[in-house]
Structure 1
């Protein structure tokens, strides 16, 4: 539950710090990065509290993260890219908390 709350609070802090004039719009986009979790629908079981999402779900792979990094370049996709990478960082932190060793 705390992890899900962080997916809403951390984007809010980032929006307030870096997108002050339009922080509400930025927060909505950053928080919409939760849409990446649609790939959990294809997993069996859909939710496993002991499973690390990184490199397990298709939108959580290192290849996908590389694409998110490239999305930082065009200004039109930059806020989305920041949201996706924040999402990956939060999921990675959860993996560390679970004590899961991630493949390189």
Structure 2
């Protein structure tokens, strides 16, 4: 019961905190860009079933593989892609936490 609150709390709460603390002048824009990291969940449409409550996304879906995670980390380096990278890394942290809470 607590797992969804933690999972979605990280998905939305952590980007909000990062936006408020590090991007004060444009926190709304920063928040929206980081939350757009949720779009990598479109790769769930390739799975059968599309949603499984007990499936760990990490290294199962194409945009959640370790190779993709390396790309997300590299996006943190250039200033132009940093917000996108932060959003994607936060997404992976949320999914990894969800896997950890499942016992994987």
Residue number in structure 2 paired with 1:19: 23
Match runs of 1:77-96 below 5 Å: 77-96=81-100
**Structure 2 gap ranges (5+):** none
Ranges of 4+ aligned residues in structure 1 off by more than 3 Å: none
Alignment size in residue pairs: 100
Distance 1:98 1:76 in 2: 35
Match runs of 1:15-54 below 5 Å: 15-54=19-58
Match runs of 1:54-93 below 5 Å: 54-93=58-97
For normalisation by structure 2, the TM-score amounts to 0.91
Q: Which structure has more RCO (C-alpha within 8 Å, separation ≥ 6)?
A: 2
Distance 1:78 1:87 in 2: 14
User: What is the root-mean-square deviation in Å for CA atoms of aligned residues?
Assistant: 1.1
Shift of 1:6: 3.4
Shift of 1:13: 1.2
Shift of 1:73: 1.6
